[in-house]
């Protein structure tokens, strides 16, 4: 199943624009659209408006001012191939930009479902009585995984964060964070937040996958976010103490296979760097471009 890259980028822009709209209010600022989260959940970002000219440095400055007024992160995202001139503009406006490999799934190359030693890969069942507690544990795994990525930088933490994980202040650990730290980080989620995720899971628009060990609980997690026939895999994280066991790869493959079963025809993800991207190519993804993820450079704060 192949697509002309130009068609892929058009479909990706529609996905990026549509995904936050049911859960955010929208403000247009020049060539940018700012998505402002309504209710609980990870804050959104600003990105280029579909059909608008390349945003100017003044547009970026105006959005940053508005984000500060709202008390939300000064975050921007776009696809380089779709908005090739924005990179230089963003840097001139004081943003530091992570160039994250953008990959799409080649369904014919997707690895088979394989057992993971001593653990099980599964999708959280929204009808299960344990859904709320399992969801909370998966979010704690993501918090720790994002707070302690190998050789992480602050910008890389922004890049891999998603609405599946809430901010987490890392502390110095002598040993890699494990089940005890996960349990300590696990919060009781509000009923409204759980019901929101449950409704989306039942509709197939937001699915959470976990790797669970009988003796250690949830060790890895990730999500699939779907709009029509396009889906993004995001927030894939492994508890630091459980890294090196192949959990992330098999969890990603499980989410991709579920999307194909649900007749999703374009499945994509963004990797934190080239090394991570190479791991995803072994699952069945191929690189098509670059996702730009920006925040203020330290000198502009």
pLDDT, tens digit, 9 for 90 and up, residues 28-42: 999 999 999 998 888
Give the pair of three-digit tokens for residue 237.
Answer: 């994280």
33-71 confidence digits (pLDDT tens)? 999 999 888 899 999 999 999 999 999 999 999 999 999
| Stated length of the chain | 301
pLDDT tens per residue across span 105-119: 999 999 998 888 889
- Cα–Cα distance between 141 and 146 in angstroms, integer? 8
Distance (Å, whole) CA 111 – CA 280: 10
What pLDDT score does 147 carry? Answer: 84
C-alpha closest to that of 289 among 2, 5, 93: 5
């Amino acid at each position: 199943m192949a697509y002309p890259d130009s068609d892929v980028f058009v479909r990706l822009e529609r996905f990026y624009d549509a995904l936050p709209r049911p859960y955010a209010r929208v403000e247009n600022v020049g060539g940018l659209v700012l998505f402002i989260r309504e209710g609980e959940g990870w804050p959104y970002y600003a990105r280029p408006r579909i059909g608008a000219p390349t945003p100017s440095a003044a547009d970026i400055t105006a959005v940053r001012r508005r984000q500060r007024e709202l008390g939300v992160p000064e975050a921007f995202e776009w696809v380089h191939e779709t908005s090739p001139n924005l990179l230089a503009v963003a840097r001139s406006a004081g943003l530091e930009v992570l160039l994250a490999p953008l990959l799409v799934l080649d369904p014919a190359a997707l690895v088979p479902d394989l057992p993971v030693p001593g653990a099980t890969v599964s999708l959280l069942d929204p009808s299960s009585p344990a859904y709320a507690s399992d969801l909370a544990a998966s979010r704690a795994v993501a918090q720790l995984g994002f707070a302690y990525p190998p050789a992480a930088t602050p910008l890389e933490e922004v890049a891999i964060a998603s609405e599946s994980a809430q901010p987490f202040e890392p502390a110095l650990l002598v040993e890699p964070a494990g089940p005890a730290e996960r349990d300590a980080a696990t919060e009781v989620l509000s009923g409204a937040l759980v019901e929101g995720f449950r409704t989306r899971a039942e509709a197939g628009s937001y699915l959470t996958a976990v790797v669970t060990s009988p003796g250690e609980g949830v060790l890895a997690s990730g999500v699939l976010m779907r709009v029509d026939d396009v889906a993004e895999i995001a927030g894939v994280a492994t508890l630091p103490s459980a890294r090196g066991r192949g959990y992330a790869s098999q969890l990603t493959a499980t989410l991709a296979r579920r999307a194909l079963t649900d007749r999703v025809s374009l499945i994509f993800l963004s990797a934190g760097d080239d090394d991570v991207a190479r791991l995803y190519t072994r699952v069945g993804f191929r690189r098509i471009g670059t996702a730009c993820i920006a925040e203020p450079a330290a000198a502009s704060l």
